[in-house]
Amino acid sequence: MSGKTVLEIKNLSKSFAKNRVLEGINFTVEEGTVCGLMGENGAGKSTMMKCLFGIYAKDEGQISLFGHPVDFKNPKEALENGVAMVHQELQQCLDRTVVDNLFLGRYPTKLGIVDEQRMLKEANNLFANLKMNVNPKTVMRTMSVSQRQMVEIAKAVSYNAKLIVLDEPTSSLTEREVGKLFSIIDDLRKRGVSFVYISHKMDEIFQICDDVAVLRDGKMIFKKHIKDTDMNELISAMVGRSLDKRFPDVDNVPGGDFLEVRNLTTKYPPVLQQISFTVRKGEIFGLYGLVGAGRSELLESMFGIRTIASGEILVAGHKLRFHSSRDAMDHSFALVTEERKLNGMFGKDTIKFNTTITNLEAYKSFKMLDSKKLYDATNREIKIMNTKCVSPDELITALSGGNQQKVIIGKWMERSPDIFLMDEPTRGIDVGAKYEIYQLIIRMAKEGKTIIVVSSEMPEILGITNRIAVMSDHRLAGIVNTKETNQEELLRLSAKYL
């Protein structure tokens, strides 16, 4: 580390309408270092970086790179000047190949024609240099979220950026892939590349970062060397109070058997094979496994999205066969999907629209939608979920990722489902908001709701469930009682069929 300042932000402020999102921010990043950026959802982390990257125009303040003032008008300018950003919500052309996505907006040409041979050669060299096993000719849509995230990280590196912003980069990565990412960061750090690392995962911040800064309510609380702080101080700075426990007490008492999945096998790849388990009424049932093990596919099959080739789903002893998600919803099922931007919300519409869309019949008067009922429902869920927003009429895309997730969960809460399927419900959510979601899950279970929750975070799956089913290679590897298991057993089961 040379001690040279790569990025300096002075007195940065930004407002959306009457909502002050950033106020007088001062922030620096040194050459060849990784600076962690933490804060609750809505604290202003992503907004601050989008001001740097040219997505938002700042209201006040100055941004300098290597001592020179900059004011990027768009992301292309930022990229051309050595600043790259990997967004939490991936922005990719899913029907194009990996190589097309890598060179989008900068196709090399030869005699006026796109030089595909050169693109392919440079892409292969890039992945070889980063030790990533990726076929550049693969269509993006056929890849898992984690694979697509690694491609996006490779794209940032391909610009020879001197400063790379990573916004929740490990939210969909396996432990092995996280290790690979950290290896890439270490290698680039030695070459003088600097990083701003936005994450809610405390363990990662202490593992990879040299410094850490905390934002709260749009203000910079502190920036310190990682060795000069600890987890308790970070949590206290983020939420403005101390959190004594990471997880609430799981004090629900499950009743009798309620939901049974019997020999479920799916029709189309990736094929789930002979999945059988029973979940009790009022139980929090965890699903663990490596990314690609088939956890999301299992929830989608239960919700009528994927075609079941054979097997049965029984609720309270009654056999059910769903041909669509509407069938599942009519039988009191709900599904929170893993990728909220892709299939969890209507990005071009309001909080009110997204909150009420699944339950419109309940908001009618004389067969017409009742505006008051729509607003009442939205305001009710905003209050219950503690969603940070200006009003029900605000676009959902104006919210932070965690607050978007709260709206999505609130949407399903309006239907009062009996069976709640939750795929990575706390993905990209800060520590304070996670605790609120955990409390909500436990409260629903105590009210008799049956909950199946997928999580890639082992402490989380061990911290909020009654039992855990572990999947490996699209099969059920075993079911364990949460209080009687440990991380080693879960890892052993997750590798059972590999």
For 195-219, give the DSSP string. EEEE-S-HHHHHHH-SEEEEEETTE
Nearest Cα to Cα of residue 439 among 247, 206, 167, 276: 247
- Domain check: are 288 and 187 in the same one? no
- Domain check: are 419 and 309 in the same one? yes
Number of domains in the chain: 2
What token pair was written down for 263?
Answer: 């020999």
- Domain check: are 210 and 336 in the same one? no
- Domain check: are 211 and 342 in the same one? no
Q: Where a domain ends, among 239, 269, 294?
A: 239
- Domain check: are 352 and 489 in the same one? yes
Q: CA triplet 477, 481, 482: central angle to 5 degrees?
A: 105
Q: Where a domain ends, among 239, 270, 294?
A: 239
| Residues 219 and 43: beta-carbon distance below 8 Å | no
Contacts of 213 (CB under 8 A, 6+ apart): 27, 35, 36, 37, 38, 220, 222, 223, 224
Is 29 part of any domain?
yes
Is 164 part of any domain?
yes
pLDDT of the chain, 498 residues: tens digit per residue = 457 999 999 999 998 877 788 999 999 999 999 999 998 777 888 889 999 999 999 999 999 999 999 999 999 899 889 999 988 777 788 899 999 999 988 888 888 898 999 999 999 999 998 888 889 999 999 887 778 888 888 888 888 889 999 988 887 677 777 888 898 899 889 989 999 999 888 888 999 999 999 998 899 999 999 999 988 888 888 877 666 678 999 999 999 999 999 999 998 888 999 999 999 999 999 999 877 789 999 999 999 999 999 999 999 999 998 999 999 999 999 999 988 877 889 989 999 999 999 999 999 999 899 999 999 999 999 998 889 888 999 999 888 777 898 999 999 999 999 999 999 998 877 777 788 889 999 999 999 999 999 998 888 999 999 999 999 999 999 999 999 999 889 988 988 886
Main-chain phi, psi angles of 310, to 5 degrees: -155, 165
Helix (H, G, I), strand (E, B) or coil at 471: strand
| Residues 475 and 275: beta-carbon distance below 8 Å | yes
What token pair was written down for 188?
Answer: 């680039």
- Domain check: are 411 and 459 in the same one? yes
- Domain check: are 287 and 139 in the same one? no
Q: Where a domain ends, among 239, 270, 287?
A: 239
Is 81 part of any domain?
yes
- Domain check: are 97 and 225 in the same one? yes
Q: In the chain, how long is the greatest CA-to-CA distance?
A: 72
CATH number for 477: 3.40.50.300
- Domain check: are 191 and 42 in the same one? yes
Nearest Cα to Cα of residue 14 among 27, 30, 3, 25: 25
Is 244 part of any domain?
no
Helix (H, G, I), strand (E, B) or coil at 260: strand
Q: CA–CA separation, 118 vs 110, rounded Å?
A: 9
Is 250 part of any domain?
no
User: What does each C-alpha distance from 171 to 150, 380, 419, 440, 468 come to in angstroms?
Assistant: 11, 29, 25, 21, 21
Is 469 part of any domain?
yes
Q: CA–CA separation, 458 vs 468, rounded Å?
A: 11
- Domain check: are 226 and 373 in the same one? no
Q: 296: domain range?
A: 257-494
Is 354 part of any domain?
yes
* Burial label, 199 (beta-carbon count in 10 A; 0-12, 13-18, 19+): buried
Nearest Cα to Cα of residue 188 among 342, 34, 397, 45: 34
Is 108 part of any domain?
yes
- Domain check: are 190 and 330 in the same one? no
| Residues 356 and 378: beta-carbon distance below 8 Å | yes
Q: CA–CA separation, 198 vs 493, rounded Å?
A: 31
Helix (H, G, I), strand (E, B) or coil at 375: helix
- Domain check: are 299 and 337 in the same one? yes
